Structure 1
Amino acid sequence: MQRTPEPELMDAPEQASAYAAADFSAGDQALVERIAELFPGGLGGRILDLGCGPGNISFRLARAYSDTVVIGLDGAAAMLQLAERRLHQEGDLVGRLSFVERCLPSPDLPAGCSAVVSNSTLHHLHDPLMLWLAIAQAAAPGARVYLKDLRRPPSPEAAEALRERYLAEAPPVLQHDYLASLHAAFTAAEVTEQLQRSGLEMLQVAEVDDRYLEVWGELP
């Protein structure tokens, strides 16, 4: 099916609250473990979580890599308010974990990052090259890169089947957004073309399970 873009920012308070309240812990932990598997030598001292939302992955990265600084970046103020609130409630990561509000493209991204991670952000962007160019802009030479996102199913019927399989019991706002995200996602072939156009052809692309794709590698 053809791609149907969705709004770039999830900035409605009810959206932010629904996502913060949802239990994505198993998938989030699996993502951090996958990163550790791909990069057994670690992620260096400065990690950027690009499109961090309420910070779920940012917090896990900061705890998994205790010798690093982690920066969570997002364009949605409502999401970042939740992340900041959690940061100050938990307290022990203040000084190593921070959050910044930026919309892509931006000339003012964190620079010199030894690793750039992005989870479920690519499909939100109307122009996907903005994400890949932001990665190139923020990354230091030799940076590790890991991205995971939904991939677009072949038909509306297949998208509906995925919603039924994975989110049948979820709140309506999450079900609606999930279906929209499936329609807005990219295929592995499209992402491969994006990498070639943005000068990041050294990164690898693979389909994962029945609904995801991942991109990983090290920059020159």
Structure 2
Amino acid sequence: MDDDAQARAYAEADFEAANSSFVEHFDARFGASEPSGYILDLGCGPGDIALRLARRYPQCLVHGLDGAAAMLRFAEQALVREPELQGRVEFFQGLLPGARLPQGNYQAIVSNSLLHHLHRPQILWQAVQAYGRAGTRVMVMDLLRPASQEQARGIVDQYSGDEPAVLKRDFFNSLLAAFTLEEVRDQLAEAGIEGFDVQRISDRHMLVSGILP
């Protein structure tokens, strides 16, 4: 998503509920162990979740990776507005697979709404294995495909009523491109990732979480 207008629409959209929920889910699953070290946010977009994680876990450093320069410009602007996080959050441009990052592996890997954008979903799970290690905490949140286009339209109308048309269109297309719980379980099995929990957490979201063995 390297179109400036589209990136701006995403950066300015109201994702407060979804993004705060993301951090709450991470905290519920892994917060008791007081995460430390490096967190990697795959497909970080305009950087809101990366910044939220850095605020929540002051002992962590957060790297955000995205393929779109336009998105990362907004991420950098957001970081400038929070000087207390500078030095603890960095953003990098790169495409999966093969993006170069300064850390060989990460203590936690997260991703929000990247999976359904990938033509080959194994790219995400391979990246989790490539950038993780034994003990790495992993949490992936993504859209859950509705049973029909009519249901998808209803979800868009319910949750994106006041958003720009470009976001409504992208939301609708993303819902149709998303996976079911069973499809994601099959993806994990194909990748050889065992023991992860895959669950529905809302009428439009799924959550995948676990610790790499």
TM norm structure 1: 0.93
Show the counterpart of 1:117.
110
Where structure 1 has 5 or more consecutive residues not aligned to the other structure, the ranges are 1-9
1:63 pairs with 2:55: yes
Structure 2: how far apart are the matches of 1:134 and 1:202?
Answer: 17
Amino acid at match of 2:116: H
Amino acid at match of 2:25: R
Q: Is the 8 A contact 1:192 1:201 kept in 2?
A: no
Q: Paired residue for 1:92, among 84, 92, 95?
A: 84
SS of the residue corresponding to residue 113 of structure 1 reads coil
Show the counterpart of 1:7.
none
Deviation at 1:26, TM superposition (A): 2.2
Q: Is the 8 A contact 2:122 2:187 kept in 1?
A: yes
1:26 pairs with 2:17: yes
Show the counterpart of 2:133.
140
Residues 178-206 of structure 1 show CA distances to partners (whole Å, capped at 9, x for unaligned) of: 00100110111100000001111221101
RMSD between superposed Cα atoms in Å: 1.1
Deviation at 1:84, TM superposition (A): 1.0
The 5 Å alignment of 1:169-184 reads 169-184=162-177
Q: Paired residue for 2:93, among 90, 101, 108?
A: 101
Q: Is the 8 A contact 1:205 1:213 kept in 2?
A: yes
Change (3 A) 1:89 1:169: closer
Q: Paired residue for 2:144, among 132, 135, 151?
A: 151
Deviation at 1:107, TM superposition (A): 5.4
Show the counterpart of 2:28.
37
1:194 pairs with 2:187: yes
Change (3 A) 1:108 1:26: same
SS of the residue corresponding to residue 100 of structure 2 reads coil
Structure 1: how far apart are the matches of 2:70 and 2:135?
Answer: 33
Q: Is the 8 A contact 1:207 1:214 kept in 2?
A: yes
Structure 1 stretches of 4+ moved >2 Å: 107-111
Q: Which has the higher contact order (CA 8 A, sep 6+)?
A: 1
1:127 pairs with 2:120: yes
Residues 33-85 of structure 1 show CA distances to partners (whole Å, capped at 9, x for unaligned) of: 11111112133311001110000100000000001110000111100011112
Deviation at 1:209, TM superposition (A): 1.7
Amino acid at match of 2:14: D
Compare 99-108 and 184-193 and name the one that shifted more.
99-108
TM norm structure 2: 0.96
Compare 189-198 and 21-30 and name the one that shifted more.
21-30
SS of the residue corresponding to residue 134 of structure 2 reads strand
Deviation at 1:108, TM superposition (A): 2.4
Q: Paired residue for 1:48, among 13, 37, 40?
A: 40
